[in-house]
Amino acid sequence: MRVFTFFTFYFFTPLLFAQSAALPIVLQDTTTTSLNEVIINENRLQTPFSEQNRNINILTRDQIKNLPARSVSELLSFIPGVDVRQRGPWGAQADISIDGGTFEQTMILINGIKVNDPQTAHHSMNIPIPIGAIERVEVIRGPAARVYGINSLTGAINIITRTPDKDFYEGTVQLASSLKTKDEGNGLYNGRSLQLGTGIAGRTATHLIYGSHDSGNGYRYNTPYNNSKFFYQGKIKNAHEGLWNLMGGYTYNNFGANAYYAPPNDREAKEIVQTALFSLGFTSSQSNRWKFSPRLSYRYNYDDYRYNQYDLSLFRNLHHSHVVNTEFNSTYHTGAGVLGLGLELRNEFLISTNMGDRQRNNYGLYAEYQTEFSERLTANIGAYLNYNTHFGWRVYPGLDVGYKLASNWRLYINAGSGQRIPSFTDLYTNGGGNVGNPNLSSENAWYTEGGIKYNNDRNFVSLSYFYRKITDFIDWTRPSTNESWRSNNFMQNEIHGFNVNTRWQLNTFGNSNWYIGIAYNYLNPKVATAYQNDVLSKYAIESLRHQLTAQLSFRSRHVSFNISERFVERINYKNYFLTDARVSYSWKKYRLLLDANNLLDISYIEASAIPLPGRWFNLGFSCSI
């Protein structure tokens, strides 16, 4: 197996470069929607993927179906530029960052609705969406304040759920194991999963309902997990050319947290997290020129961290966070372009045994304008005006410009800015080896990127270079391992980055298709600080340096397989290769699949000092009616 894996990686990588078509993540099947037909919805302006003047990556439904992943966090690890740092697999706990930023600097959205947690972004991935309910994942790289407001300092990840076009019922059951004996010596480490979903497509309404349950006894001592999710989405038309959008979800996550936050003494730690999400929106089209979309959303998160689950008197944190977000977005089509305007009121509340009762409000005003100077030259310009009750007034402008060199070639350059408001944990936490700082300033970023893209129905090539500067960078530091971590504005963080993404559909015969690709990211981060050189840092000096993904995929009417090789090198972390594969067989309405993750049984770490699972096998069976 080692020989085959290395042959796949080292043979196909030079082959791709030699033919000038290497590339990211898997491709689409010819029976699915072309990337050129995907519309990127950014709450106000809508632009086809092929006409975007920004660096955007898309993970399609067809890719999601064929990747060897069982959680949203695992899916994101296959997207170029996205750094997934798991403390526990299968969606137990993961931090997500983009292009060398920290996990607090990335905005997470569901259908354009912000789901970031104000207590700490450790909880931002507590999303109540089973994989089967996802239509695609959009990753916007670079500060996106002009589009999404605060906390989109390094980019945004927007998870788009399915809209049924016909009635369906489906179910999936999976069993998994490392085939290794538990530390206690009784049985094997294992996991199991059940997912059920239905879609109802009527003449005036569609409904999507999904539920899932994942559980297992872990992969090492005190890592069992129990994760349940429920999700509903409804779209209802009314008689006035409008559309009501309803969304609701709930997730319950209970897991052993051995070495997750305070190693090595938290061997018996446990965490229980519950998250609820609700939104109600309306989209009206009163005329061909003007559209408006008011929306109200609410997010609740409960976090119960137990330093020692057998002795709650040692250290226990209970947190309840509430976020109410009120939005009004509109677009107006003029004779020369499209004007987008938006208002936002965000109320954040925290009730905590550790940090006390906290509250803050954020008010935002969006203004964007999209225009075509000619058939070849297009531009988006705009700004976000923000007022926060703790951090005052700020304005964040942005500009995207694109020039169509030929029918499928586009040259683009963009510049933008963004802000990250410190979390309540950054400001007020006290205990468990961490001390907050109520005098923190907000982080601010300036970013510029230039690149060239080639895109048609079968192939995609993208090359780009970016520079980002963050002032008042917030990090947790300490002078020695004997002292507590303390949050500080860690002076200035600069990153130069280069990335290449391509995908290529190989020869096609009958209903069979081959796909091959590679994605490479290089980051050169620098930190300018007044602190001593030997100061210990949690995040500033642990970003990605090199990230490489190579994939080979085959799909036919009945059989499909995908093999993926990933190389990751972080600053001050050991680099590693990971090999993952999925093979599936489909007949009629049934599908049988087998995943093999970390085939070479590599020992690796993504966060803290937590060893992640070695070789792991997953057998699944699904039925769709």
User: What secondary structure does DSSP assign to 237-267, as a single string?
Assistant: E-TTSEEEEEEEEEEEEEEE-TTSSSTTT-T
* Domain of residue 541, CATH code: 2.40.170.20
Beta bridge partners of 620: 174, 593
Per residue in 435-455, pLDDT (tens digit) is 999 999 999 999 999 999 999
For residues 171 and 193, give the distance between their C-alpha atoms in angstroms, rounded to a whole number.
Answer: 11
Q: Tell me what pLDDT residue 3 has.
A: 35
Six-digit token pair at 514?
A: 């081959």
Other beta carbons within 10 angstroms of residue 85's beta carbon come to 24
Q: What is the pTM of this model?
A: 0.91
For residues 213 and 215, give the distance between their C-alpha atoms in angstroms, rounded to a whole number.
Answer: 7
pLDDT band at 4 (very low <50, low <70, confident <90, very high): very low
Residue 239 has pLDDT above 80, yes or no: no
Tell me which of 356-370, 437-451, 486-500, 581-595 is least confident. Answer: 486-500
Q: Tell me what pLDDT residue 93 has.
A: 87
DSSP assignment string, 512-580:
EEEEEEEEEEEEEEEEE-SS-TT-EESSTT-SEEEEEEEEEEEE-SSEEEEEEEEEEEETTS--EEEEE
For residues 83 and 96, give the distance between their C-alpha atoms in angstroms, rounded to a whole number.
Answer: 6
- Mean pLDDT on 127-143: 94
**Average pLDDT score, the chain:** 88
For residues 588 and 462, give the distance between their C-alpha atoms in angstroms, rounded to a whole number.
Answer: 38
Q: Tell me what pLDDT residue 179 has.
A: 93
Six-digit token pair at 450?
A: 């230039």
Please state, for a pLDDT cut of 90, what percent of the chain lies above it. Answer: 69
Q: What range does the domain containing 335 cover?
A: 2-624
- Mean pLDDT on 74-91: 88
- Mean pLDDT on 47-73: 90
For residues 137 and 93, give the distance between their C-alpha atoms in angstroms, rounded to a whole number.
Answer: 19
Closest CA to 414 of 465, 339, 471: 465
Q: What is the 3-state secondary structure (H, E, C) of 5-22?
A: HHHHHHHHHHHHHHCCCC
Q: Tell me what pLDDT residue 11 has.
A: 33
- The total of structural domains in the chain comes to 1
Per residue in 561-584, pLDDT (tens digit) is 999 999 999 887 789 999 999 999
Residue 5 has pLDDT above 60, yes or no: no
Do 441 and 472 meet the contact criterion of CB atoms below 8 Å apart?
A: yes
pLDDT band at 482 (very low <50, low <70, confident <90, very high): confident
Q: Tell me what pLDDT residue 490 has.
A: 80
